Structure 1
Amino acid sequence: MNSIITSMRYEGQLWVVAKGRDMFYDQLLYLVNSIDLASNNLSGDMPEGLTNLSRLGTLNLSMNHLTGKIPASIGSLQWLETLDLSRNQLTGTIPPSMASITALNHLNLSHNHLSGPIPTTNQFQTFIDPSIYEDNIGLCGPPLPTKCSTDDGSSSHLPGKGKTKNGEAKGNQKLGFYISLVLGFVVGFWGVCGTLVIKNSWRHAYFKFFDDMKERVLLFVSLKLASRQGGR
């Protein structure tokens, strides 16, 4: 039995601060499969060493004062079945590696300050209860009603950001339209009128052309009226 334990021995180390006491674990970490430190007034960042507990099945750190980000390497806890980090002050995004914990069947990240899109692969497809993520204003994507910019390109997980970008794009389009309209008017107007002002011969020819057209129209109308009266 001793030989088996020696072959499985885990040489990691872990500091945990609970109720003002510093607790240092440097032996037998491989035997730890459940940690419940809920409501213990824990503060500071989540210990990175927690992710080295490869046999951990339950981790409950809810109702504390933890800050900072969820460790990016949390995906290494492949045996983790229950994770409760609710009611802390955690920030940042949900680490993509968390989606690789296929054993995870209970998750609670509510009442934090998390942001970004909620993963949609593996076990996260089964976490369809919005209460899991409630009171995280920056989170977006299913099962929350807030859409992410990657969903349809029209919104963002930061309130108002997508609308601002779309508003700026529409404003630029309108500005470009008005500029082209003014330039077209200026070029068209002065392209015709400018030459008439500068060139006397063109101006006389232009007005003579319209005088001739006026005479032809009057003559045509007079002939039509005369032909109708003669027919009666």
Structure 2
Amino acid sequence: MTEQSMTLDAVQTSINALIDEVKKFASQSRTNMSSSGLKLVGEHAPHVTAYDVEKSVFEGLLHVGGLLMKHYFDELGDGNLGFRIEHQGEEMLRKVSGEVKVLTVFGKVPVHRWLYYKSGCPGYSPVEDTANIPDREASHYLQELVGRLGIRDTFDETAGFLEYLFGISLSTHTVHEIIGELADHHQGFAEELTPETAPAEATIHVASFDGKGVPVVKDVAPQLSSVNFSP
């Protein structure tokens, strides 16, 4: 069985387990509902609410998302294009294979790749180039979320929210660097634009992304009365 098949089997197993858990939750809730008027001590099933189900389903889907991202990179392959390739007019030789981990909203995903080298030239990974994997550990999509949150929240709040929602750990320093890189791309980008610090006559720089991981910031001169800074 190939690694790709094993990953897809794990996806199906996880989905089936999630369905079974939802059924179990529903059964427990029905038991509680039907016995609520009996007041029989010790005969109630564990109390389950829609909150428990929603939280469990969300966490289960994050796990499935991580498996699907792994399957994507497994299908993409390790970028072994042969012993010798030509890249940007330079002949490069296959030298080193290894694994990098990309931090996504689903957690860390392993990526196997070959590196090609030529003296005097930076190393080249066909996998990282094709998938547009960033130099830093955080994926481009995760960096986009950091950028959007960082417009409104402090660095600590941004890191804390991502950890609460996705269970991923980003240091405040990393968040600061990501926001700083957005600022490097566009002069005047406000690193910490919060409701408390926004000037009355501000030009707000709205961060967006072009689908290739490249941040695009547009200047918007809004009527502040129409801007909602609340969560």
User: TM-score, normalised on structure 2?
Assistant: 0.24
Computing the radius of gyration from Cα coordinates, the structure with the larger value is: 1
Comparing both chains, which one has the higher relative contact order based on Cα–Cα distances under 8 Å and sequence gaps of 6 or more? Answer: 2
